[in-house]
Copies of this chain bind each other. A is one copy, B any other.
Amino acid sequence: MTLTPIEFYFDLSSPYAYLTSTWIDEVAAKHNRWVKWKPIMLGVAFKETGMKPLFHQPLRGQYGERDYLRSARLLGVEAVVPKRFPYIALAVSRGFYWLEENYKDHAVDFAKAAFKRYFCDGKAPTTDTDMASLAHEVRVPAKELIEGCSSLEMKERLTFETEKAIQEGVFGSPFVIIDREPFWGNDRKEQIERWLKIGGW
């Protein structure tokens, strides 16, 4: 039996998705799996469920910041709360899919660099200058990437991936699907590890 890949859906502006991005590949590899990274625009999904970005909810806002930083420390990874939150991660998400089609081996590195820029350095990557800097970091041609991001094809691709994700039941970020079993949230790491180990419950 060939094992299916692990699907990892995330919004590049989602704090807990950043945390999951730091361990998902390693956990998958431990069980001879690989991860299909899928950036989506979570705002669309929010419209379906009526939810708001975590740090913006009344009462939960302050708690969310605290819990996010605590969760990062538990994983032993660097994290800051960006001053500008949330940001619309359109350019980087389109950039990811453009790289996936044109420089396949650099797409995941690019997503990781975008996460790091926002959640470690606190800077939202949105401008052409930001994109060029990220392109440089993951060694792909900056000009091509910037053009790719604004192409109609990539706009449509990102919309398509987001709608497809929602159809498959994705309603939050991070959202991991393994063998059709859904796991929502960075805090489902233990359940994911158990699922990969024993292949069910």
A169 within 8 A of B: yes
* Chain A interface residues (CB < 8 Å from chain B): 48-50, 57-60, 62-63, 66-67, 70-71, 73-74, 169, 171-172, 182-185, 187-188, 190-191, 194, 201
Query: A185 to B187, Cβ gap below 8 A?
Result: yes
Query: A201 to B48, Cβ gap below 8 A?
Result: no
When all copies of this chain in the complex are counted, the total is 2
Query: A194 to B74, Cβ gap below 8 A?
Result: yes
Distance A133 CA – B2 CA, assembled complex (angstroms): 53
Q: Which of B50, B63, B67, B172 contacts A171 (CB 8 A)?
A: B63
- Classify the secondary structure of A's interface with B: helix
A191 contact set on B, CB distance < 8 A: 70-71, 74
Query: B187 to A59, Cβ gap below 8 A?
Result: no
Distance A59 CA – B57 CA, assembled complex (angstroms): 19
Query: B49 to A171, Cβ gap below 8 A?
Result: no
Q: Which of B49, B70, B183, B188 contacts A201 (CB 8 A)?
A: B70
Distance A66 CA – B182 CA, assembled complex (angstroms): 9
Besides A63-B184, A67-B183, A70-B191, 9 more A-B contacts (Cβ < 8 Å) are: A48-B58, A49-B59, A50-B57, A59-B171, A66-B182, A71-B191, A74-B191, A187-B187, A187-B188
